[in-house]
Amino acid sequence: MTIDEHQQVIDELQAVIDDTQHTLDRFEATGMETEMPADYDKLLAIFDDAVTRQRAHTLAMLDA
């Protein structure tokens, strides 16, 4: 991948991270993490995966 392609993926992953964080914040503000723990765990998994992938692309971009 080129640096520009890595940057595009990083930016798109940041949007996923931001949206997921916003949803997690809303879950926590309304107490839904205890009402819907499976859904909350899925959101945490999405967040973790996006951060992990973003980090990998950042490192790959720096190595390029």
CA distances from 15 to 5, 11, 32, 34 (A): 16, 6, 23, 26
**Nearby residues of 46 by Cβ (< 8 Å), 6 or more positions away:** 16, 20
Q: What are phi and psi of 17, to 5 degrees?
A: -60, -45
Total domain count, the chain: 1
Rounded to 10 deg, the angle between the 37-63 and 3-30 helix axes is 160
Where do we find the tokens 């809303």?
A: 26
Q: Could you report the per-residue pLDDT of 4-62, keeping only the tens digit for each?
A: 999 999 999 999 999 999 999 999 999 999 999 999 999 999 999 999 999 999 999 98
Global pTM value? 0.92
